[in-house]
């Protein structure tokens, strides 16, 4: 599938260009719009790679909640423009540190990751062909490790169903822990931004 490969390359180039625009723009509204563009590109990338549910939840959670929260805070705070242009002048001061850390990261990542980069498209094509054969469903019959429940052997699960089975069966404790973290994320901003008024009549 040559067309899919070209589309994936275009999506990744678009994501990288909009990420660069995100970190280099002076106005924070433009950088938040660049962040939205990065999220849309990467979620489309995931949907094309047949990770449908995770791509859609990226689109809903990141674009619909987090980026809009950023946009709301940026537009609420009414920042002076002079401050931001002063900030942008400090690029050359921080450039050597960023070059050192970036080169260290490049060295580390390219010397320690064992998966070859060139074969990734081949893996993707194998994955897509296997999905075509099984009619876009995860086939758990082949998985020998999951033989503890017999009803696994009868049914085929689509993507979201298999995610839900694994999430509610094997990762239940982590699910409850994540809900506690989300509760903390609700209570924390209220406690931080609440200014009590003592002189109520």
Site for another protein in 92-121 (CB under 8 A): 94-95, 97-98, 101-102, 105-106, 109, 113, 115, 117, 120
**163 close to 169: Cβ distance less than 8 angstroms:** no
Structure tokens at 64: 């619909």
Of 16, 107, 149, 172, which one interacts with another protein (CB under 8 A)? 16
**Greatest C-alpha distance within the chain:** 72
Q: Is 189 in the site for another protein (CB under 8 A)?
A: yes
For another protein, the closer of residues 90 and 201 by Cβ is 90
As a whole number of Å, the end-to-end CA separation of the chain is 72
For another protein, the closer of residues 154 and 190 by Cβ is 190
Q: Which of residues 42-71 bind another protein (CB under 8 A)?
A: 42, 45-46, 49, 51, 54, 57-58, 61-62, 65-66, 69-70
Q: In degrees rounded to 5, what are phi and psi of residue 157?
A: -110, 140
Distance between CA atoms of residues 178 and 8, nearest Å: 32
- Three-state DSSP at 138 gives strand
For another protein, the closer of residues 186 and 201 by Cβ is 186
Q: Is 86 in the site for another protein (CB under 8 A)?
A: yes
Of 80, 144, 197, 201, which one interacts with another protein (CB under 8 A)? 80
Distance between CA atoms of residues 43 and 64, nearest Å: 13
Distance between CA atoms of residues 22 and 36, nearest Å: 9
Q: Please give the size of the binding site for another protein, defined by CB under 8 A.
A: 72
Of 56, 74, 137, 161, which one interacts with another protein (CB under 8 A)? 74
């Amino acid at each position: 599938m040559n067309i899919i490969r070209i589309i994936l390359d275009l999506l990744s180039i678009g994501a990288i260009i909009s990420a660069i625009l995100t970190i280099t723009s002076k106005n924070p509204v433009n950088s938040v719009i660049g962040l939205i563009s990065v999220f849309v590109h990467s979620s489309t990338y995931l949907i094309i790679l047949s990770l449908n549910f995770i791509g859609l939840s990226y689109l809903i959670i990141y674009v619909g909640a987090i980026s809009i929260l950023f946009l709301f805070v940026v537009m609420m705070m009414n920042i002076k423009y002079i401050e931001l242009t002063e900030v942008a002048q400090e690029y050359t001061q921080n450039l050597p540190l960023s070059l050192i850390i970036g080169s260290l990261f490049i060295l580390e990542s390219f010397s320690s990751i064992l998966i070859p980069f060139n074969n990734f498209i081949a893996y993707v094509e194998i994955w897509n062909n296997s999905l075509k054969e099984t009619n876009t469903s995860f086939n758990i019959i082949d998985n020998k490790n999951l033989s503890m429940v017999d009803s696994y052997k009868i049914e085929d699960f689509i993507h979201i169903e298999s995610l839900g089975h694994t999430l509610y069966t094997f990762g239940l404790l982590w699910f409850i822990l994540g809900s506690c973290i989300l509760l903390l994320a609700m209570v924390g901003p209220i406690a931080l931004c609440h200014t009590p008024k003592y002189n109520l009549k």
